Structure 1
Amino acid sequence: MSKETFSRASGHPAPEAAEYDYVIVGAGSAGCVLANRLSADGKHTVLLLEAGPADTNLWIHVPLGYGKLFKEKAVNWMYQTEPEPGLDGRTIFQPRGKVLGGSSSINGLLYLRGQHQDYDRWRQRGNAGWGYDDVLPYFKKSEDQQRGENEFHGAGGLLPVSDWRHADPLSEAFVVAAAETGIPTNPDFNGAAQEGAGFFQTTTRRGRRASTAYSYLRPARSRNNLHVETSAQAQRILFDGRRAKAVEYRQGRTVRTARARKEILVSGGAYNSPQLLQLSGVGPAELLRKHGIDVVLDAPGVGNDLQDHLQVRVVMRCARKITLNDIVNHPVRRVLAGARYAAFRTGPLTIAAGTSGGFFKTSPRLATPDVQIHFLPFSTDKMGEKLHPFSGFSASVCQVRPESRGSLRIKSADPLVPPEIRINYLATETDRTTNVEGLKILRKILHAPALKPYVVEEVDPGSKVVSDEELLNYCRRRGSTIYHPTSTCRMGNDPLAVVDQRLRVRGIEGLRVVDGSIMPDLVSGNTNAPIIMIAEKASDMILEDAR
């Protein structure tokens, strides 16, 4: 490795000897956690590779900046699905972070863990050590909760979790309206139970985004045993027999090799992790041979079981000029909002991808909520595009436990060719019914008395869309991702499971996957906090196994 290579995150030049105890591929929500924890005691040398740049883009650190980064190629993989049969053959945009902090640097900032039952279900499927009682200590360990420590929350951890810093009458009215329709108020979606309506907490501190690059990697920058390489595109893992020995990566025009004395940890996320394994010869043998890749291990489960949350949005025209649309579309109000944020770190620029919201059951037969609502005091046709010229607000329904599963497959042996992504949204009757019933309940909330003073009309889907068939067609026509892909390197004991309970790749030595791709199935909520928990737990397991 050349002397000129510079570790921007740690501030230290990378050493000539390209050998480390641990090589981490991907500096996202999981990778930054691993880098911090594995280097903390000073006993192990750690290399963290990130395909994207350092997190210097100003909009990364402004909460509302996710709208600016949604289609920013410099920090975003900009993936697309193949045509989705369940969504009228549309391709669905899949933004993923390509920058220090990964998707935690460009996401909607919501801090949600899912339901206790999600993790108990993982354990009941044979994944010992992953029940709710097992993972709660790691959620608490990671957390620096603004409200303080209690039975469910931790204080003093590295990840700031904060209440929203901008009062908004529409978001408050939504919570009251939900109560008017029979959905109870819930002050803490991450506490004893998830069901109810309330305000989301965010991964922010004093009005600034707290990505894992900020909260985990930044405090570790001065450690001599941690080295971080940006603009470092991993090309493949190199093996000695079935033991992972090194990572080959490209920086500019130079191809480099980093050897791992102990382990290689793949943390590229639900798309990049299975892609790297397949490129390296670990995956479905027929697929690998098709692309001329030598088969190290025929692992048919690599890239299988892809899941994602679908969201379907309802847009309302507001009777008062109090929405973010009105601020952004007015030059003076826009400047004043920017000045307020610059001076006090408050105001509309602190808005996350959901201010208030809720979780509810579409059927009384269900034990736990199966739908999540995200409420937003603005409206747009597509996230990342211009806000509507009229005063508008919106809310979306999201089925939290979809049955539909898809796949990820490489299209080429070239690591720069995007993979084939098939999610198969709305492939089952349960998924179709849940989305339709969820829309019905959301519309009742949006037309409840508390919101009536703010509503002129429902713009989308509009009052003419009434029947179940019409609502399902609307879901097919307008539904889109809510950015939570998981499960492509699934944990388990069955023949298609990719990793075991300690996240070691089954059939391979010296290789683990640590990110959202290991989830046996989707959690009932946003995925960033669970992925950070997974990396916290994995760090302990890795250090235990190193003794």
Structure 2
Amino acid sequence: MFNLLFLALFTLTATGAPAADKTYEYIVVGSGPGGGPLAANLAKAGHSVLLLEAGDDQTQNVNVSIAANFLLAGNDPATRWDFFVKHSDNATRESNYRRTTWRKTDGSFYVGTDPPAGAKRLGIYYPRAGTLGGCAMHNGCLTMNPNDADWDAIANITGDSSWSAKNMRKYLIQLEHVNYLLNSTIHGHNGWLEMTMLDPGYQSSSDAKTIMQLAAEGSGFSAEDTATLATRDMNGEQPNRDQLTGVFGGVSHMDPQGHRSSPGYYVRNTVRESKYPLTLQLNTLATKIIFDNGTTNPRAVGVEYLQGQSLYSADPRYNASDKGIPGRAFASKEVIVSGGSFNTPQLLKLSGIGPADELKKFNISVVVDLPGVGQQVADNYETSLLSLGARDVNSGNGVIYPVFLKTSAAKIRNIYMWCGSFSFEGFWPGFPEDYGPSQYECAIVHINPHSQAGSVMLRSADPRDVPDINLRFYQTGESEDLGALLEAVKWVRSVFSKVPSSLGPFKEKHPCPYPRSNCTDDEQKTYIKEQAYSHHVTSSCAIGADGDNLAVLDSKFRVRGVRGLRVVDASAFPKVPGAFPVLPTMMLSEKATEDILAEAGTL
């Protein structure tokens, strides 16, 4: 009874009516992997912080709290925001996407390429999480420090050595609460983020053991090496780690009992301690950044918002007639935007920061003409090789193991894959499709592809409207990137072809569906190109060099051309960091904490 009362009090405090025009030292917009930890860290350093989150608190929702339920979390209307994107400007190519989503006349979804009469094309589904903790509350919890080269590239672009891989590792250690390698001195054990190495299934699943051994052999190791490889630390500090390939241990942001660890829990627990000046205001949609009246280098001094549940139209529970309660809050030091790669550029543009021509189109007064806002959007390319075994797969506890590859033209490892008895072919309402207990897949992620031509554009000046998003896959570097992905597919196929009976032979579902065995390279590349999917969007408000016209941020996360305004989320990365940006974004948040406190003189 006490716990229920405590939770009720917490929820009431977090979502109660706003105090009009109250001033805090810092306002943080968005509680995801960038904003949530930053708000908690600043409050723990003694600064008063208002954290605005458009969603509510779903930390007790078992779809969220149990990490293994991530597919349920991704489809849960209590947590999800439904975005729909394009992959190109080519209408024919877009029409070939097999999981295209349409809105039927009765309001429900149709998924496919032959919609019923009257259906409206929505596009390619791209779910985000509108809840306390952001997308770290519905993801698969895969937790990987990117290649060292990714961090070093930011240091080289900006001339700021604090972005070097060597220095960035300290932020990983700060946030880690590692539940493996318990005596290791290269990991952190006292941070806020629980990290656990998954059971690789080497002992619990004979089929997993067999296929893992074949994967080890296919990447230059022996079958006898597999048990050691299956516990290899992908977040270690090995020499020349960017060249390490083959099977690794899978690290996830969860505790050893399988409970999700994420910024949502870190923020919730910080508020519950009641000893830090952190105010969490849920169900609050930021609509505009308030600037002072200065004409030179205007200063961000506050945020306008609407309070109410499901006010953003991406929320499946959205009701256009519910207008919300308007409010304002002010910041004596800084406003920090952490809405994510779609919502952060939208909020900046609505506030007058962005390409002047686009803002004028919607009668938005230009505070600063910043052409890079919503441009150069990046994302990883993902595909998969999905097959059905000759019998049911003995999958143990549903284990998944990761593999790194370096394709022939790459200088460092450029393919990450996760393999196991599952089906994952991208996103659509109700995903994934279950092919039964004989399914086995390697999902393939191309790390840092060449093209970075996506955009996030306003549809209107209405802050409740979703932006127009076109990721423009393969706009540049198509030959190199499709070649790398096809090479990875062929590697997986070669491993699967060696699976012994009675599990084999595998019958491939795609990209070369059984009974065909002679798909041409061009046919497979066409499939990979047209059916690519993604969920790692970054770079829509990127950090860049002082002379870069498209750089939105400097190396300290400060928005160029204004004062008192920063962006701290995945939109800040100049390109996608590694295979999964969630851990890098949390590391980025730790770095931003240090930068902000140092500037405030309270480090």
Q: After TM superposition, is the score higher than 0.5?
A: yes
For residues 533 and 170 of structure 1, the distance between their equivalents in structure 2, rounded to whole angstroms, comes to 36
What is the distance in 1 between the residues matched to 2:326 and 2:267?
28
- Superimposed CA distance per residue, residues 273-326 of structure 1 (whole angstroms, 9 cap, x where no aligned partner): 1111011100000000001110000000011111111211111112343467xx
> Could you tell me how far 1:16 is from its partner in structure 2?
5.7
Moved more, 120-129 or 254-263: 120-129
Q: Which residue of 220, 225, 229 maps to 2:281? A: 229
1:511 — aligned with what? Answer: 565
2:599 matched to 1:545?
Answer: yes
CA contact (8 A) 1:373 1:396 kept: yes
Change in 2 beyond 3 A, CA 1:380/1:299: closer
Quick one: structure 1 residues 10 and 110, their matched pair in 2 at CA, closer, same or farther if it must change by over 3 Å?
A: farther
Residue from 264, 271, 291 that aligns with 2:335: 264
SS of corresponding position for 1:306: coil
Indicate the residue corresponding to 1:372 in structure 2: 416
Matched-pair contact (CA < 8 Å) for 1:181–1:448: no
CA distance in 2, matches of 1:263, 1:75: 28
Task: From the superposition, tell whether residues 422 and 307 of structure 1 become closer, same or farther in structure 2 (CA, over 3 Å).
Answer: same
User: Could you tell me how far 1:382 is from its partner in structure 2?
Assistant: 4.8
Please tell me whether the aligned partners of residues 142 and 251 of structure 2 are also in contact (alpha carbons under 8 angstroms).
yes
State the AA in 1 paired with 2:300. A
1:249 paired with 2:305, answer yes
**Change beyond 3 A, Cα 1:225–1:208:** same
| TM-aligned CA distance change 1:220 to 1:546, over 3 Å | same
CA distance in 2, matches of 1:305, 1:40: 35
Cα distance in 2 for partners of 1:269, 1:520 equals 14
> How far did 1:386 drift?
3.9
> Tell me, what secondary structure is at the counterpart of 1:438?
helix
Counterparts in 2 of 1:197 and 1:451: CA distance versus 1, 3 Å: farther
Deviation readout 1:379-428 (Å, 9 max, x if unpaired): 25555234124521211221101111111111110111111111111222
Determine the structure 2 residue equivalent to 1:88.
Answer: 93
Alignment match, 2:62: 58
Q: Is residue 2:142 matched to residue 1:110? A: yes
SS state of the match for residue 442, structure 2? strand
Q: Summarize the alignment of residues 110-259 of structure 1 with structure 2, pairs less than 5 Å apart.
A: 110-128=142-160, 129-147=162-180, 148=182, 150=184, 152-165=186-199, 167-184=204-221, 186=229, 187-191=232-236, 192=238, 193=241, 194-205=244-255, 206-221=257-272, 222-240=274-292, 241=294, 242-252=298-308, 253-259=324-330
Q: Which amino acid aligns with 2:334?
A: E
Quote the offset at 1:107 in angstroms: 0.6
Which residue number corresponds to residue 278 of structure 1?
Answer: 349
Q: Aligned partners of 2:79 and 2:12: how far apart in 1?
A: 16
With 511-520 and 390-399 compared, the bigger mean Cα shift is at 390-399
1:319 aligns with 2:356: no
Match for residue 532 of structure 2 among 464, 473, 479: 479
Between the two proteins, what is the percent identity of the paired residues?
Answer: 30
Q: Contact between 1:37 and 1:539, CA under 8 Å: does it hold in 2?
A: yes
Within the alignment, does 1:385 sit opposite 2:432 as a pair? yes
Q: Aligned with 2:596: secondary structure?
A: helix
Q: Please say if residues 557 and 572 of structure 2, whose CA atoms lie closer than 8 Å, have aligned partners that are also in contact.
A: yes
1:413 aligns with 2:461: yes
Q: Which residue of 2 aligns with 1:334?
A: none
Q: How big is the shift at 1:250?
A: 0.5
Amino acid in the other structure paired with 1:459:
K
CA–CA distance in 1 between the matches of 2:390 and 2:195?
33
Question: What whole-Å deviation, never above 9, does each CA across 1:180-214 have from its counterpart, x for those lacking one?
Answer: 21344641222222422123111001211112111
Structure 1 distance, partners of 2:432, 2:586, is 29
- Structure 1 equivalent of residue 130 of structure 2: 98
Q: 1:170 to 1:282 in 2, by over 3 A?
A: farther
CA, structure 1 residues 210+168, in 2 after alignment: closer, same or farther (shift >3 Å)?
farther
Counterparts of 1:124 and 1:422 in 2: how far apart (Å)? 28
1:425-440 aligned within 5 A: 425-427=473-475, 428=477, 429-440=479-490
Moved more, 66-75 or 166-175: 166-175
Which one is further off, 504-513 or 307-316?
A: 307-316
Residues 148-196 of structure 1, C-alpha deviations (whole Å, 9 max, x = no match) = 2535422111111102256444444333121221344641222222422
CA distance in 2, matches of 1:430, 1:9: 54
Partner SS for 1:440: helix
Q: How far apart are 1:224 and its partner, in Å?
A: 4.9
Q: 1:496 to 1:7 in 2, by over 3 A?
A: farther
Contact 2:133 2:262 (C-alpha < 8 Å) held by counterparts: yes
Match of 1:447 among 497, 508, 516: 497
One-letter amino acid of the counterpart of residue 212, structure 1: P
Supply the distance in 2 between the matched residues of 1:449 and 1:522 (Cα, whole angstroms): 34
- 1:251 partner letter: Q
1:208 partner SS = coil
| Residue-by-residue CA offset, 1:468-496 (whole Å, 9 max, x unaligned) | 10111111342211x11111111111221
Q: For 1:471 and 1:225, how far apart are their aligned partners in 2?
A: 56
The whole-number CA distance in structure 2 between the counterparts of 1:276 and 1:146 is 38
Cα deviation 1:491-546 (Å, max 9, x = unaligned): 11122111111101111100000011111111222111100000011011111111
- Residue in 2 that maps onto 1:358: 403
Which position in structure 1 is the counterpart of 2:115? none
Shift of 1:92: 2.4
Give the Cα separation in 1 of the matches to 2:501 and 2:590.
Answer: 41
Q: State the distance in 2 between where 1:195 and 1:381 align.
A: 24
Are 1:424 and 2:458 an aligned pair? no
The CA distance in 2 between the partners of 1:61 and 1:159, in whole Å, is 14
Cα distance in 2 for partners of 1:501, 1:51 equals 28
Q: Where do 5+ consecutive residues of structure 1 fail to align?
A: 328-346
Q: Equivalents in 2 of 1:322, 1:448: separation in Å? A: 15
CA distance in 2, matches of 1:532, 1:197: 25
- Shifted more, 465-474 versus 93-102: the winner is 465-474
What is the rounded CA distance, in whole Å, between the counterparts of 2:457 and 2:329 in structure 1? Answer: 26
SS of the equivalent of 2:455 reads strand
Verify the 8 A CA contact 2:21 2:328 in the aligned structure 1. Answer: no
Structure 2 unaligned segments of length 5 or more: list them: 1-7, 98-122, 309-323
Match of 1:291 in 2: 362
Q: Structure 1-normalised TM-score?
A: 0.88
Change beyond 3 A, Cα 1:367–1:153 = farther
Match of 1:397 among 436, 444, 454: 444
Q: How many residues align?
A: 514
Tell me the TM-score normalised to structure 2 length: 0.80
Counterpart position of 2:101: none
Greater length-normalized contact order (CA 8 Å, ≥ 6 residues apart)? 1
